[in-house]
Amino acid sequence: MPISKPPFGVYTPLVTFFNEDESIDVVATKQHAKRMAEGGVAGLVLQGSNGEAPHLDHGERAQIIRTIRSHLNELRFTKVKLIVGCGAASVRETLTLISEARQAGADYALVLPPAYWAAAMTPAVVENFFNAVAAEAELPFLIYNFPAVTSGIDISSDAIIRLAKANPGKIVGCKLTCGNLGKLQRVWSSLPEDEFAAFAGKSDFMLPGLVAGSNGVIAALANIVPATHVKLIQLWNEGKLQEARQLQSRLSNADGALQKVGVAGVKAVVSRYFGYGRGIGRRPLGNTSIDAMSKDVLGPLEDIIRLEEKYARQSGKL
């Protein structure tokens, strides 16, 4: 059976919940995965930037994947895909992480470019890295372009297109957190849409991303309001552009607020408004709570959470 790209839709880059002692909070993890699936997401992205991937060891990574896959299957959300972050500083370690992710139940991998020796990571070296991973990877994978966490390394549209064409069925998509919609448009227009998924990587350009050819969205804000993101896709599919623009405006305001509170802040919002988990990050990220957030931050978030409650009621999930 030929390997296909990830299905079109909303993907939540799942946060990793911790207990007070920084161990994995399995109960909150399962509750969170359940709420995302009930919100209508097409998939979950585990162990990405929001999942604090650099803070997890190999055993914890496998535990999280197995726990979520098993729980979703028990709930009959078998079609929800798992994309797992597997980027590392070497080809060897990246391949090991991909192999372990496959064994634990992942459908796809997500791979950052290596960035430890940033000065040595020329465009040619980065391209060679992805070709080498594709040659041996046990899972199809997406290229993850996020210059803010890779010492400024920004993979060009030309490189993404070359890599996808050279590795069909292995490199099946990209996540563009860089926010470059021109890059997204060029990639989408140069590769077969049924074989390659180019994703916008933030809520604040979700609708412009759809216009440019995004395969949906991979967005941190979906940790809080998954059904609202699904609603925007519904409006787009129905051609209701004015309604979609209004909803995009509210998502953009909420996303801008969320970016001010960091990963632990995302978890604190989930804890306060949805009743599970804690605003705990592994050190040095530290902890936070709703009480530490200003009204300027909470206002846009509470606005979008009210919408989420409305859409969840409409779908019978509240």
Q: Are 27 and 19 in contact (CB under 8 A)?
A: no
Among residues 11, 108, 144, 311, the one annotated as catalytic is: 144
CA distance 91 to 87: 9
- Contacts of 251 by beta carbon, 8 Å cutoff, 6+ apart: 203, 204, 206, 221, 225, 228, 229, 232, 304
Structure token digits, residue 163: 């890599």
> At 289, phi and psi to the nearest 5?
-150, 170
Structure token digits, residue 4: 């296909």
Rg of the chain, C-alpha, whole Å:
18
Q: Is 276 labeled as catalytic in the residue annotation?
A: no
Binding-site residue numbers are 218
Binding-site residue numbers for pyruvate are 218
Question: What are the CA-CA distances from residue 65 to residues 29, 105, 107, 241, 300 (Å)?
Answer: 10, 6, 10, 37, 32
Q: Is 144 labeled as catalytic in the residue annotation?
A: yes
Among residues 30, 170, 175, 202, the one annotated as catalytic is: 175
Q: Could you tell me which of 151, 162, 234 has the C-alpha nearest to residue 191? A: 162
Q: CA 2 from chain center: how many Å?
A: 24
> At 12, phi and psi to the nearest 5?
-95, 120
Catalytic residues: 144, 175
